[in-house]
Chains A and B, each alone.
Chain A
Amino acid sequence: MTAAASSAGVLRAPLVVEFPFTRSLGPVQSAFLTGLRERVVLGVRTSDGRVMVPPVEYDPRTAEEIRDLVEVGATGTVTTWAWNGAPRPQQPLATPFAWVLVKLDGADTAILHALDAPGPEAVRSGMRVRVRWAGERTGAITDIACFEPGEGGEEPGAPAQGAAYDGRFGDPVTGIVAEARLDYTYSPGRAQTAYINALSERKTVGERCPSCHKVYVPPRGACPTCGVATTDRVEVGPAGTVTTYCIVNIKAKGLDIEVPYVYAHIALDGAGLALHGRIGGIPYDQVRMGLRVEPVWTEGGRYPDHYRPTGEPDADYDAYKELI
């Protein structure tokens, strides 16, 4: 199948995953980021005398804990670079810039950052650059706005290189928030697209495994037990049986449902396994295993809003115990 044919009619939608992760810094990163806030760049001296910038907590050669922080220059030399002609959101500069590795004066390792330069012809390995400090500094790597071509002197009274740092900053930064965001395009695939499309007609359509004959709802396009493709579409329900449930007494984040409510596993008639839904139309403390229910739709809903009792007698335990 070609890509075009395989994607014909298959649903796709953006999926954004984002979260403000927090980071406890520990002593070394705390000093480094607090230093940036104070316009001081700190490195750490390893047991063999090299100075690493940015600093690390443990010696990469000996694994020893290292805590000997030293101040390095705010000027340095580009060791290598790559031009970024189309910056993305969240990158250090909105205009085209160079990614550079800069070995700061007094350091033995290079730090990755952005260099503000008019074009790639203005960048070369070996060029001298200096820190451009951000106007507002909070104790984060972005306190270095970027690097810019030139020698030191931006800051009057720039410190001597490699000076012993006395370990004293007031109000140290001990944690940061790292906003993470990933942008995906999500596709549920052929089988689930058919299932979702059928739901819009208020029908629940699964797929039967040709080998074990179980009906998968929602279908996945294959039977996870037999490992064979499922193509035979089967409508199930609309009624089903509550196989088990719990009563939810605490509000889940982002869910606008009054508690308490019943969250149930419901085996629709003809389905080989249960799906999940909320039970309504009956007091929460009268819901029971074996209760017969049917879907209740609301205008525009992709899924049933909830399930309500059909009024039929309860199903025998033996009739659904294999579906729990």
Chain B
Amino acid sequence: MSTSGKEPVAVVGIGQTKHVAARHDVSIAGLVREAAARALADAELTWADIDAVVIGKAPDFFEGVMMPELYLADALGAVGKPMLRVHTAGSVGGSTALVASNLVAARVHRTVLTLAFEKQSESNAMWGLSLPVPFQQPLLAGAGGFFAPHVRAYMRRTGAPDAVGSLVAYKDRRNALKNPYAHLHEHGITLEKVQASPMLWDPIRYSETCPSSDGACAMVLTDRAGAARSPRPPAWLHGGAMRSEPTLFAGKDFVSPQAGKDCAADVYRQAGITDPRREIDAVEMYVPFSWYEPMWLENLGFAEEGEGWKLTEAGVTELDGDLPVNPSGGVLSTNPIGASGMIRFAEAALQVRGQAGEHQIPDARRALGHAYGGGAQFFAMWLVGAEEPGR
């Protein structure tokens, strides 16, 4: 596939913090530093090798630090270098990585550090998302109340049986046990426990919701020459795209937003993928509530409309299925909001580098990273491969 004169982009360093409910031992600077230092160590590079820094996080209200990137410049070795902040709500970790990759692809910079973080314990995201705007009717439900009606709409549209959501949660929580960086490590998890957990926002159960985490994720992206020096196998970018649409508009399809379909189609076109179900070996998709797995399977073209839940039910998306989804445990097991998208992108890269450890999919050659946010408003995706594109 031609990359039409663009510089090939490679992921040569990946670093994450151990995601937990609260990192009281570090400042925000200390948190991002930890992930960045691990990414540099993975790439065997130093701060001096980095030409620019691209950082992302969720809305400033989430921690109450206005423009935190200003204060993080020294922690990230950005002094004297360009530093950019990207902001696309929950999808920000994905779009941040794509902005960084574009700087390399366009030959603006040769080696870029990209990082996303959230220290949710310093605030309350639900408060940050529901400011009491005068004259407006308050939202009558909690966080899950926004999503649960869309899940019910999906169930009605497809006839999916009630148990599918619990299957996803059971799978992702078991996968997380194989990922040392995952937040939730629920030893002794069983399907019965998931199904017995309280129904919070019917049809969403407690065990089918994501946790609130403190964490950061960083990647070092570089050009072909940088990849040649990489001490470990790089992940190559085969396609990346972002799409947006309004949060609410007449005709919006919350179950399968058009922007998500268009974004996936663009990525597949760039990567020369015609049959994503067969040609993609692993998927890290943004599933904050378990039912979003079957919904996104359809939205991303892995299943026909109405058929996504059948893949989940048949075990296709299990770690040993033929289309493993969220081998890392996903957002259901780890959710530092601003970082969650980048963790998806990084975990996809780990798979094709063969470096995913216990949750490695054998011989993964192509993997998709997916992020969305802002009430299904922003979409960001990338497809990475073990081989340089066009080779």
Residues of chain A at the chain B interface (Cβ within 8 Å)? 11, 13-15, 17, 19, 21-29, 56-63, 65, 174-175, 178, 180, 186, 188, 192, 196, 209, 212, 214-216, 223-225, 243-250, 252-255, 257, 260, 263-265, 272-273, 276-278, 289, 302-303, 317, 321-322, 324
Contacts and interface: CB of A to CB of B under 8 A. Distances in A.
B326 to A, nearest CB: 24
Interface in B91-125: 119, 121-124
A252 B129 CA distance: 13
B302 interface: no
Given A60-B74, A248-B140, A272 B250 contact: yes
Contacts, number: 181
Contact of A244 (B73, B126, B156): B156
B136 to A, nearest CB: 8
B152 A63 contact: no
Interface residues of B, number: 65
Contact of A63 (B77, B137, B142): B77
B145 interface: yes
Contacts of A250: 142, 198, 200-201
Contacts of B136: 188
Given A245-B152, A248-B145, A273-B248, A15 B133 contact: yes
B26 A273 contact: no
B142 A317 contact: no
B202 A273 contact: no
B124 A212 contact: no
A22 B200 contact: no
Nearest to B214: A24
11 contacts: A15-B134, A24-B24, A24-B121, A60-B73, A174-B25, A246-B152, A246-B204, A250-B198, A252-B145, A273-B252, A289-B156
A60 B254 CA distance: 46
Contacts of A27: 30
Contacts of B22: 24
Contact of A58 (B33, B123, B248): B33
Contacts of B27: 23-26, 28-29, 57
- The DSSP consensus for interface residues of chain A is mixed
Nearest to B156: A289
A252 B141 CA distance: 6
A278 B140 contact: yes
Interface string B65-79: 100000001111101
Nearest to B143: A252
A240 to B, nearest CB: 15
- The DSSP consensus for interface residues of chain B is loop
A254 B204 CA distance: 22
B134 A186 contact: yes
The listed residue with most A CB atoms (<10 A of its CB), out of B30, B126, B138, B157, is: B30
A216 B252 CA distance: 13
Interface in B137-174: 137-142, 144-145, 148-153, 156-157
Interface in B241-297: 246, 248-252, 254-255
B255 A26 contact: no
B246 A13 contact: no
Interface string B198-220: 11111110000000000000000
B64 A19 contact: yes
Given A17-B131, A180-B64, A264-B149, A246 B77 contact: no
Nearest to A290: B156
Nearest to A30: B27
A66 B30 CA distance: 12
Interface in B314-329: none
Interface in B15-49: 22-27, 29-30, 33, 47
A59 B23 CA distance: 22
Complex A-B, nearest 5 residue pairs according to Cβ-Cβ distance, in ascending order: A246-B148, A63-B77, A26-B27, A272-B250, A214-B250
B250 A225 contact: yes
B200 A249 contact: yes
A65 B204 CA distance: 44
A21 B201 CA distance: 27
B149 A245 contact: yes
B63 interface: yes
Contacts of A11: 134-135
A248 B141 contact: yes
Contacts of B26: 24, 26
A273 to B, nearest CB: 5
B153 A24 contact: no
A216 B249 CA distance: 8
Contact of A225 (B128, B202, B251): B251
A192 B252 contact: no
Contact of A265 (B33, B142, B149): B149
A278 B141 CA distance: 10
B140 A276 contact: yes
